[in-house]
């Protein structure tokens, strides 16, 4: 198998706390440093969440801006994806606010769903509004799929020309109300992919490693990081770090004879935000002439 795989790095998330695992990066400088370290190890995309000064999830434009600018300074080729999660707010306008910063990508969960202790609300009107805002700002959606109904909804959006190729899918396996980390479940999702699709597999909690390995074995990519899983082992006896998770999956990929797709390779396939990249290149040129 020679296809290059996408490595989507999710360092923070909305739920993990330092009380659960001290290695979770929450402060702005921690997130920037963690992403830069991950970039050195090797990642294709970074899936970013912002936290406020109390460590709570935030859609604050200034926080996202400082995180994004810090990463761009040291990792300019890295594909940046902002989370627009509906876990703590259903207001689509608040969720869409970070799009003003022109990230390369932004998350789009394709329906409402239940987690163990709470719901994530993604009404059809909200999904449509987020898609419209992404198109306006030149942002590609990161299509998050937890069950087959969400894959069906992706095809509906495509048929209505609300989203356009190329497509990138995250298959989120192991949630209590969704597809499980099983080969037959993953196979159904893969078979449902539209043309011009790229994809990666995430496993929630203790399912992270098994899901990532299935993704690699099936010719796809992986999403990995402390957002999804705080432990190195299934028995939850050894706390993970983002670096250890990344190093382990690179070792497995090497044994599987899979090569990671670089951020530049992925971005140039149609996943860079052309508006933001042109502005960045212009500012670089201006700076070089001073």
Q: Domain limits at 41?
A: 7-289
> What pLDDT, on the 0 to 100 scale, is given for residue 92?
92
**Is residue 2 domain-resident?**
no
Looking up residue 263, the CATH number of its domain turns out to be: 3.20.20.70
**Is residue 50 domain-resident?**
yes
**DSSP β-ladder status, 7-9 and 140-145:** unpaired
List, in sequence order, every beta strand (DSSP E) within 197-254.
197-203, 221-224
C-alpha neighbours within 13 Å on the C-beta side of residue 253: 26
**Is residue 76 domain-resident?**
yes
> What pLDDT, on the 0 to 100 scale, is given for residue 276?
82
Residue 112 — left, alpha, or beta (φ > 0 → left; ψ -120 to 50 → alpha)? beta
Q: Structurally, how many domains does the chain consist of?
A: 1
Spatial distance between the Cα atoms of 10 and 257, rounded to a whole number of angstroms: 24
> What pLDDT, on the 0 to 100 scale, is given for residue 280?
62
- Residue 218, C-beta contacts closer than 8 angstroms, at least 6 positions apart: 186, 187, 190, 201
**Is residue 1 domain-resident?**
no
> What pLDDT, on the 0 to 100 scale, is given for residue 18?
98
> What pLDDT, on the 0 to 100 scale, is given for residue 122?
94
> What pLDDT, on the 0 to 100 scale, is given for residue 54?
94
**Is residue 115 domain-resident?**
yes
**Is residue 150 domain-resident?**
yes
CA dihedral 237, 174, 50, 280 (to 10 degrees): 120
> What pLDDT, on the 0 to 100 scale, is given for residue 283?
54
- pLDDT tens-digit readout, 191-237: 999 999 999 999 999 999 999 999 999 999 999 999 999 999 999 99
Q: Mean pLDDT of successive 10-residue segments in the chain (290 residues)? A: 86 97 98 98 98 94 97 97 84 94 98 91 96 97 98 98 98 96 98 98 97 98 98 96 98 97 98 84 49
> What pLDDT, on the 0 to 100 scale, is given for residue 282?
56
**Is residue 235 domain-resident?**
yes
**Is residue 166 domain-resident?**
yes
> What pLDDT, on the 0 to 100 scale, is given for residue 133?
98
């Amino acid at each position: 198998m020679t296809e290059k795989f996408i490595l989507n790095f999710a360092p923070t998330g909305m739920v993990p706390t330092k009380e659960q695992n001290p290695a979770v990066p929450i402060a702005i400088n921690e997130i920037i440093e963690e992403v830069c370290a991950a970039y050195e190890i090797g990642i294709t995309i970074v899936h970013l969440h912002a936290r406020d000064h109390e460590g709570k999830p935030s859609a604050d434009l200034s926080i996202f801006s400082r995180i994004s600018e810090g990463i761009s300074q040291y990792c300019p080729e890295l594909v940046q994806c902002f989370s627009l999660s509906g876990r703590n707010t259903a207001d689509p306008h608040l969720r869409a606010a970070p799009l003003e910063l022109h990230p390369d990508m932004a998350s789009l969960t394709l329906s409402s769903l239940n987690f163990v202790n709470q719901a994530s609300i993604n009404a059809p009107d909200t999904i449509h509004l987020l898609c419209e805002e992404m198109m306006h700002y030149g942002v590609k959606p990161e299509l998050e799929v937890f069950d087959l109904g969400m894959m069906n909804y992706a095809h509906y959006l495509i048929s209505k020309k609300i989203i356009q190729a190329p497509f990138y899918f995250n298959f989120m396996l192991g949630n209590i109300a969704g597809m499980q980390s099983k080969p037959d479940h993953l196979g159904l999702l893969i078979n449902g992919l539209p043309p011009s699709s790229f994809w990666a597999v995430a496993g929630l909690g203790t399912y992270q490693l098994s899901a990532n390995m299935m993704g690699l074995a099936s010719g796809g990519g992986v999403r990995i990081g402390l957002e999804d899983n705080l432990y190195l082992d299934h028995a939850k006896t050894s706390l993970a770090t983002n670096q250890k998770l990344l190093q382990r999956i690179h070792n497995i990929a090497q044994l599987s004879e899979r090569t990671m797709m670089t951020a530049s390779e992925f971005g140039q396939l149609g996943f860079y935000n052309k508006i933001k990249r042109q502005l960045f290149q212009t500012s670089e040129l201006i700076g070089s002439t001073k």
